[in-house]
Amino acid sequence: MRNITPRRTPLVLSLILSLILTACGAGEPAPTPEAFQPIVTIYAPTVAPSPSPTPELSPTPQPTPTTALQAAGAVTDAAASAVGQLGENVNPYTGLVVADPAVLKRKPLLIKVANTSDVRPQSGLNSADVVVEHYSEGSITRFTALFLTHSPPRVGSVRSCRLIDIELPVIFDAALLCSGTSPGVKPLMRASYAYRNNLTMISDMGGKECATCPAFRTSDRLPPHNLFANPARAWEELDRRGNNVPSTFRAWTFDPNPPQGKPTSVLDVGYKSGNVIWTYDPQSGKWLKSLRKEKQIDALTREQISAANVLVVHAPHVTTLIVEDVGGARSIEIQLWGEGPLRVFRDGLEIGGRWRRGPEVGMFDLLDVNGNKIPLKPGNTWIEVVPMTDIAVTTQ
C-alpha cells in the first residue's frame, strides 16, 4: 500500500483531460457515459493506464478527492450564500418543510445497509431522505441510507463500509455508521477527511441488544445479518462527541412543478445481482422499487420501497487490489468526483444531464444539458450509482 497523503486517502496517479462541454440547445440529448473519460485510479489499482495529454487540450485537474478534502476545511462563500435559500424549516435533502425545526440542527446519518437475500426485507429504508445504491464487490449491491428528518427504531441490517463511503460523508456532510471495514479499507478510511474530523463512527457495536447503543443485535437472524442501527442513539453519541452539528449541504434545488422531460413510466437498471426496476405510480406520484420484478418492501412499514426522485449516476468503477471477503472478491473504487452523466426521474419524466462534484464539502450538483440545476420533486431521493459502461439502463 502506498503512503497516504495526510489530508486525503486517494493518491492520484494522473489527471483526466478536461472535458469541453458545448452549450446544448433545448431538447438535445444529454451526454452519454462514453463522452466522459474516467480519472485514472488511485487506491490499489489492478490496472493503471497513463493517458498523455493531446496537443489540442491542456490537462486541467478535475475536482479529485484530494483537492476536495484539502479544500474541505471551511465552507466556501458560494456554499455559505446558499444556506437559507430553502427556508429555515426546510430539509435540504428533501425540500420538505419539517414539523420540528430542531431536527435540522443535527448531523445527518449515513447508515450502511446490506442488500442480499438473507437480509431482505430491510428495515427503515422508506424513512430515509436519500439512499445510494451501488456495487460493493463482485456483482452484489449495497445501500448507504441518509437520515435527518426521521428516526425509525431500527435500520438495517447494518454491514461494513466500502471505498465509496470515504466520499459520501463529504458529499452529504454527514456522519457515517457501519459495522466496520475490511483490513484493506480500514487504513484508507482512517486517513480520510471524514474520519480525521470526527464525522465518522466505525465499529461493530453489536454483541447484544442495547437500548442505549447506536446499534444492537437481534435474535431473529443469524450473525452477521442481525446488526441494526438506532438513529436516535447515534445522534446521542454524536452529542457526546460534540459533533452533532447541522450539515452545510445545500446543493440541490426543489420544485413541485416538473421541468420539461421525456415521459417515462419504467426504469430498469441492469445490476449483475438482479435488475432494479422502478415503476412510476401516477396516483401517489412516486416511483416504486422492485428487484427482478419482485416488490422490495420496508420491513417496518410493510410498504413497497418508493421514491419521489430516482437518479441514475454514471461514474468510473475501478477494481482494486483490496480483498473484501474470503472468496477473494475485490473492492471497487467508485470515482464520485469530477463529473459524469446523469438521468433524473421524477413525475413520470426523465431529464438528462450531468452530475458535478466540486471541491466544497456538501457539493453534488445536478445539471441539465444547458448547465442549469435540475429541480428535484420535494420528497425522498434514491440514487442508482452505475458504471460508465457494461450495464444496461433502459426505460419505457
Query: How confident is the model over 267-293, as pLDDT tens digits?
Result: 999 999 999 999 999 999 999 999 998
pLDDT of residue 200: 62
Tens digit of each residue's pLDDT (9 = 90 or more) over 195-224: 766 556 655 444 444 555 677 777 787 778
Read off the pLDDT of each residue in 84-107 and give the average, rounded to a whole number.
88
pLDDT above 50 (res 90): yes
Q: In sequence order, what DSSP letters do the residues of 298-328 get, joined into one string?
A: -TTT-SB-EESEEEEEE--EEEEEEE-STT-
Residues 269 and 335 in one domain: yes
CA distance 342 to 37: 14
Question: Does 44 share its domain with 167?
Answer: no
153 located within any domain: yes
Q: Are residues 161 and 213 in the same domain?
A: yes
Query: pLDDT tier at 328 (50, 70, 90 boundaries)?
Result: confident
* pLDDT attached to residue 126: 97
Checking if the pLDDT of 21 tops 80, the result is no
Residues 231 and 315 in one domain: no
Instruction: Count structural domains, the chain.
Output: 2
**Same domain membership, residue 111 and residue 67:** no
257, 367: one domain: yes
In a shared domain, residues 100 and 237: yes
Q: How confident is the model at residue 242 (pLDDT cuts 50, 70, 90)?
A: confident
Query: With pLDDT > 90 as the criterion, what percentage of the chain qualifies?
Result: 53
Looking at the structure, tell me whether residues 273 and 309 fall in a common domain: yes
Q: What's this model's pTM, rounded to 2 decimal places?
A: 0.80
Average pLDDT over residues 95-114: 94
49 and 123 inside one domain: no
What are the C-alpha distances in Å from 330 to residues 13, 262, 263, 315, 326? 20, 38, 39, 18, 10
CATH number at residue 315: 3.50.90.10
Domain assignment of residue 324, given as a range: 33-71+252-395
For residue range 138-196, list pLDDT tens digits in order. Answer: 788 999 999 999 999 989 889 888 999 999 999 999 999 888 788 888 888 888 876 76
